[in-house]
Every structure is written in structure tokens, then in C-alpha cells.
Structure 1
Amino acid sequence: MSFFDNAVIILLLIGVSCFFSMSEIALAAGRKIRLRQLSSEGDIRADKVLLLQEQPGNFFTVVQIGLNAVAIMGGIVGESAFTPHIHAFLSSWLEGPWLDKTSFLLSFALVTSLFILIADLIPKRLAMAFPEKVAMTFVGPMMVCIVVLKPLVWFFNGSANFVFRVFQVQTARNDAVTSDDIYAVMDAGAEAGVLDKGDQLMMEKVFEMQTIPVTAAMTARESLAYFLLQDSEDEIKTKIAEQPHSNFLVCDEQLDTVVGIVNAKKLLIYLINGEKISLKDKNLVTNCFIIPDTLSLSESMDYFKNSRADFAIVMNEYSLVVGVVTAKDLQDAVMGAWSLPESEEQIIARDERSWLMDGVTPIIDVMRALDIEEFPQNHNYETIAGFMMFMLRKIPKCTDSVIHAGYKFEVVDVDSYKVDQLLVTRIDEQQVPEVLEIKS
């Protein structure tokens, strides 16, 4: 054959190799979410690509048969196509055995370079850039190849499956979408500017609602404002003036004996009408919903939605009131800093290396703010104050500190045995001990 004939054959082999290379990468890189969207829009090619992704054995067998066959044929044709011409070109400078060896090596290098560049690198990078489009373009011809080469596919694919069974290797890919996958997509969207950082934070909080207990969002027992059945009208007015709320618990002699709740608007109507206020009036005091402290934020929100309530008492297994939670509390847990005025923010940055934190700040918010992957045994506590108490193994006092993950957590304010505020400081790497350090 002439040089032109050999060159045409080489180009055809490169084209075939491009087809197999692009098909292989496109099928592997094609996003199922995008393909399912295209399928729902009526593109039957997306259905075919999804089918091949579910059963990739036959597809990859055809690809490997094609690539290896083309590579072998390219080497054979290339050597005979280019070696004589290179030999004739170099004959003016070289002679003897060096001429033959050099001609062969240069011919081999030329053919290999053409296949690496044109038949491998360029098509694969194009397929990575547009995986779904390339996969749907080539899926038809690829399915024809699978049918034509079915005997070879059956033999090689069956042999590979036999080897996998012998060594008990799992070949099925797990395509289940996890929360980590969703977080990664949101991070990528935020970095690309598609998703606002605030939106990303809110969406992460929505997913975390299934793991965060309702106690992280409630108003704790020691901060509750409540009435006793024995309170006089003047005492009721004083409590309303000192602690204005929309709803108040009504208890009999002690907090844990809950009778119901009273709405502040009803009390206002009574005062406007000049009627006497009596907490024993059943028209004034209504029943209150009670939820266990083991519920998550997500479960609590479902409870509020189904019962059409916006206020509930949180009780523990001993029937003791541990706090109250409202629909707004759950909303704040999702919206985070968006729904809080600046004066109520639980984490305030003093500078780039230090923060002031309320003791009741949920530990998951601390992890996010400081980019800490985990706290030790964090199933034992819910707030940063709980972390300090757990690590110190005592009731914290001022100046007690714990060093963890490159940060120093120091108690700066205690109110009646309650950790009210902490100072968190980032420590230089050379100052960070190898193990967690506790100072009290």
C-alpha cells in the first residue's frame, strides 16, 4: 500500500479510538441526576445511557476490545507506513544498523504520540467537559457494537465475572445519595457563586434537624416565666411587666405540676374590660401540648404541623419540665443568625482569632463556626457549656479552660453555677499540645 493509503488507515484507527475513549469517559462521568432530568423531558437517549450505567459490564468490555484492537492494528500499520519514509529521509546522515533502529524508534514514537494526543487525551478531556451530551450522542453506535461483538463480550465479561466471584469482589456501584454528597454539592455551588453562603448555611441546618434534639432549641427550665395558681392578680401583673411573653405556663405550687397555659392577649382583654383575673378560670387557662425531650427538631416540627400548635412543654422521662419550645424557636434553629438581632447572637467574633460564645450555644453551631470536625464523645452533651462540664468533670468556674482542636475554650462568666459566657481563642500550631489539655 502507498503512504496515502496507510495514512488514511491510521486516521481511521485514530477516529475509532476517539469514539471508544470518549464513550468510556462520558458514561463513567455522566451525572445520573442530570440524565434522569433529560429522561423526564422525553429524551430516550438518556434512558439508554442510564441503562448502560446500571449494567456497565458489557459496555466496558466492548470499549476494551475496541481500544486494544485499534492499538495493536495502529502499531502494525504505523510501523509499515512511516518506517520506510523515515529510513529514506535519514539515509543521508546514518547508515548500517543505526539507520534501521533509529527509523523504527522514530516511527514508533510518531504513531504513539498521535494516538496519545489525538485518540486519547483530547477526546477524554472533551468527554469530561460534556459527559451527558457525549454519552447520549454515542450511546446508539455503542449499543450496536455491543450487539455485533456479543460473542466476545459474553466470553470476556463472563471470565471477568468468574474472577470476581472467586475473589468475592463486589462490583456493583452504590449510587445512594448521602447527606455528605448533598453537603458537597452545596459547597461546590457556594464556591461557584450559584448558591449564597447564607442559603447554604440554612440548607445545611435543615438537614441537621434530623439529628439535633429539641432541647437545643428550647428555652431552658431556669429561664422560664410561669404563673402559679396561687398568684394574686397583682403578682400576675408584675410577672407580665417583668417578663413579657406571648404565653405563660400555669402551674400548681411548683413548675413540674403544669395545669395549662394562658395567652397574654387574653390577659390583656381581661384588663381592658376591667374583669378580674383568676387563673382558675377554665376559659382563661387552656391545655398545653407536651413533647418528650428525646424528639429531634424535625420530629418536633412535624408534631407542631400535625397538631397545629405553636407552643409545647418539653418533659423528660421523669415527667419533669426541662423547658418550652415554640414554632419560632424551631424557625430560629433553621434560619440561624438571619432570624436573630445582633444583640442576641450566640457567637460573636472579637477578631480573627477570638470569639465570645454563650454557654447555651449548640455544639453543632460551634463546630460550624470554628470549622472543627468533631468534639470528643459529643453525644453526651448538646451545648458548649455541656462540653466544658463533660471535659472538666465538674461544675465549671471562671478561668477554667479546655484546649481542643487548636482552640482554647475558657469560662469567663458564671451565673449561679451556669456557664454564661466563654472566650474561645485560636492557638498557634506550635502552642497546641498533642493531646487535649484541661486546666482548672
Structure 2
Amino acid sequence: MIVVVLTIVNGLLAMSELAVVSARPARLRTMADHGNKGAAIAIRLAEDPGKFLSSVQIGITLVGILSGAFSGATLGLRLTGWLQSVGVANNVADVLGVGVVVVLITYTSLILGELVPKQIALRDAEGVAARVAPAMKLLASVGSPIVWLLDVSGKAVLALLGQSGESEETVTEEEVKTIIAEATTAGVIESDEHSMISGVMRLADRSARGLMTPRLDVELIDLSDDLDEIRKTIVTTHRSRLLVQDGDSDSIIGVVAITDLISVFANGQPLEIRKFVQPVPVVMDHADALDVVRAIRNSTVHMALVVDEYGHFEGIVTSGDILEVITGVFQEETGDDPALVRREDGSFLVAGWMPVDEFSDKLGIAIQRDAKFETVAGYVLSIINRLPAEGETFVHGDWKFEVVDLDGRRIDKVLMTRIE
């Protein structure tokens, strides 16, 4: 009975050690905020792992010594005596008596003293840690002199091994993505929710240039055009707001709401666009996406003008552009081509405007985090370092690229085939 009790105590110590070490601090803090005193104690134990581990190791070592002493001095001798009484030779009885007891004690210790307790700790690390923390704190207080000696000795050995620095409790972006993927696989998070969470993380990594609609694709009103041309632009556009340009391509004076102009047409009033122009915030092309979001949120026009360091107009970012990063690209017109299409032969037809981070996620192609391009077209140009000809092919890594369509000097479509 003494050996069984010692084995169970060993199991409790092993379970406590693994639970406190593997418990996630964030969940323990949440439990502590809800009044769980054990969770608060577990946090303090985890913050000083040297003393905590020393306390547990003292207990495990003492239990092991006592268990070995009792099993050898009592069970082994009794079994040896019984074997001798039934006619087994003395030398054989000695070996069998000790050997059988050692095997049985080892088996029991592995099951009750290690494997089962640790499995329990792994299944609910935070709950177990909160329950055992008060007892572990008491154990550390009782053995504090020995714990102090062991802690100092352990730190001295670590210093000799060049490990004297504190461990960094950091969570990387890759770990967060892995946790989200595991939650999706387990059914905790829906696949659409997973896509949106990934989109939020992509948004934080982008710059204004990676969010913007480039200048060539921006519809605007040029005040230098004649009145009929301006009317035609206003009537045919499907945008709710248009930039207003005063002659020069970099002279953007603001933005105008189409609803304001339509009311002018309806009332038969003369068209004076300057009266309806509203100021638009300006951001640098290398500004962080979150800075762009702030600028748009503080503006009534729900867009921002993107300029480079020389003040040249580069494009615009709207609230819709930001939403598309999170939810995916919206279909604006019937027949709009998607960013990426998988064909029957296994190849991929990729739009040149597709953001390179989404491209990397979908095809598993590694892209440097400090890359100087934002789109698939920029990725292709960075590989060949020149403007390709239409129909030109090249091989990079595990993929064969073919530029199937150019729009002027812009790469419009790229066909990608994986090389077996």
C-alpha cells in the first residue's frame, strides 16, 4: 500500500509539473480575472519556472527513493522468501524475487506515475494547473531552502552553457496561423471565418500601394474637358464618387459625389462641379494599411489619395478595397475575370493584378516579406527584370510561367504550370 501511495504521489507531481508548464498564460489570466485563485497562483509559479521545477523534482526524487527502498526491502525479500519456501533454489529465488518486484513496480510507476497523469494534464492543462497550484505553492514553501540551492545551482550550470538569458515568451504569426488552421480542421471555426481572419492578418501586412486601385484604373472628372464629355463620364460611371482633376494628372483637387451632380441635372441647374468638390485625405504609398484605415475612417468621403514621395498621384484606396482584402474581391461587372482560375489540366490562370500575398497563400509559393512588389505582375517582373513579350515563357523554381496577355505595358494574365 505504501508503494501504491508513493506511485500515485509521483503521478500527481508529474501531472502538476506538465500542467503548469504547458498551460497557456492567456487562458490562465482569463480564469484569474473571473476569480479563480488557483489560476492566479499557477501564473506566479510559471513566471518563476526554476523554483517551481526544483520543488517538483525534489518531491519526485524523494518518492522514487522511498519507493525503491520499500519495494526492495519488503516486497523483494518477501517474494524471495516465498519462492524459497516452495522449493526454488536460493540463488534463483534471490534473482526472481527482486526481478519480478522491479518489473511490477516499474510497470505500475509508468502507468500510474507517468503516462496517465500526463495525459490528464495535456487534456486540460489550464484546469489542472489551477487545481494543483495551491498545493505546489505549499510544496515550494516547505522545501524553500533546498529549492533555493537547486535553483541557484541550475542557473549557474545554464550560465556555463551560455543559456543565462531569459526565455522569450513570444507568439509568432506562423503559430497564430497554425492555431487558426487547427481550429478550422476541428470545426471550431468555419472555413469562411478562417478566410476572413487570414484576410485581416494580410491587411495588417500590406502598404497603401498594396491596397490601392492604380491610377490607370481610376475613373475621374477632368475639369479641362468640355461639358459634354464631363456629362458623359457622370452618366456612364457606376461609381458613387469620382475624383476631380484640374488639368494636370497630379492636380487632384478632391472628390465629388455622383448623387450631388444628379440632383443638379434633375433640377436643370448649370453644372458647377467645383461647388461640390470635397477634400480627400492623402497618404504615402508606403504607409501601413492600418494608417490608411485610420485616414479613411476619419474622412467623410471614405477614400484616400495615394501619392509617392515626389507628390505624384499613384491611386486611391477606398473602404471597399479594404473590405475586399478581408472578404475577397467583389464582382463589379458581369464577366469580370477572377484573380485565379484552376484549369482542367491542373495549370493556373492568374491575373496580373492579384495581390502577391493571396497568390502566395493559394499556391504555396514563398515570397520574401520585404519584397518590393505588391502584385503577381510585379512578382514576374522581379524575376526577369524586364517587360516580357506576350507569349513569353520562363521557369522559376517548381513552376513554368507563360505571359499570355499584356495590357499595354502591364502584365494582364499569367499561365502557371507546376513542373513535376
Q: Is the 8 A contact 1:187 1:200 kept in 2?
A: yes
Of 51, 57, 60, which residue of structure 1 is paired with 2:50? 57
Partner residue in 2 for 1:43: 36
- 2: CA distance, partners of 1:288 / 1:35: 46
1:314 maps to a residue whose letter is: V
Tell me which moved more, 171-180 or 111-120: 171-180
Shift of 1:23: 1.0
Q: Is the 8 A contact 1:32 1:50 kept in 2?
A: yes
Shift of 1:242: 4.4
Task: State the SS of the aligned residue for 1:259.
Answer: strand
Partner residue in 1 for 2:153: 159
Of 391, 395, 419, which residue of structure 2 is paired with 1:403? 395
2:10 maps to a residue whose letter is: S
Tell me the TM-score normalized by structure 1: 0.88
Name the Cα RMSD after superposition.
Answer: 2.2
Residue 32 (1) aligns with residue 33 (2): no
- 2: CA distance, partners of 1:340 / 1:233: 27
Residue 336 (1) aligns with residue 319 (2): no
Give the number of equivalent residue pairs. Answer: 418
Partner residue in 2 for 1:245: 239
Task: State the SS of the aligned residue for 1:361.
Answer: coil
Shift of 1:22: 1.2
Partner residue in 2 for 1:434: none
- Percent identity, aligned pairs only? 26
Shift of 1:157: 1.5
- 2: CA distance, partners of 1:137 / 1:235: 76
Name the CA shift for 1:191/1:101 in 2 (closer, same or farther; >3 Å): same
Shift of 1:257: 2.0
Name the CA shift for 1:351/1:34 in 2 (closer, same or farther; >3 Å): farther
Partner residue in 1 for 2:196: 202
Partner residue in 1 for 2:136: 142
- 2: CA distance, partners of 1:333 / 1:215: 13
What residue ranges of structure 2 are gaps of 5+ in the alignment?
none
Instruction: Write out per-residue CA displacement over residues 136-168 of structure 1, whole angstroms, 9 at most, x where no aligned residue.
Output: 222222222112112211221122122223443
Residue 211 (1) aligns with residue 210 (2): no
Q: Is the 8 A contact 1:388 1:402 kept in 2?
A: no
Of 324, 327, 340, which residue of structure 1 is paired with 2:316? 324
Partner residue in 1 for 2:73: 80
Partner residue in 1 for 2:303: 311
Task: State the SS of the aligned residue for 1:323.
Answer: strand
Partner residue in 2 for 1:5: none
Shift of 1:34: 1.5
- 2: CA distance, partners of 1:259 / 1:239: 17
Task: State the SS of the aligned residue for 1:82.
Answer: helix
Shift of 1:94: 4.2
Name the CA shift for 1:89/1:358 in 2 (closer, same or farther; >3 Å): same
Tell me the TM-score normalized by structure 2: 0.92
Task: State the SS of the aligned residue for 2:170.
Answer: coil
Partner residue in 1 for 2:294: 302
- 2: CA distance, partners of 1:244 / 1:154: 74
Name the CA shift for 1:108/1:304 in 2 (closer, same or farther; >3 Å): same
Partner residue in 2 for 1:386: 378
Shift of 1:51: 0.5
Partner residue in 2 for 1:277: 271
1:315 maps to a residue whose letter is: V
Shift of 1:334: 1.9
1:72 maps to a residue whose letter is: I
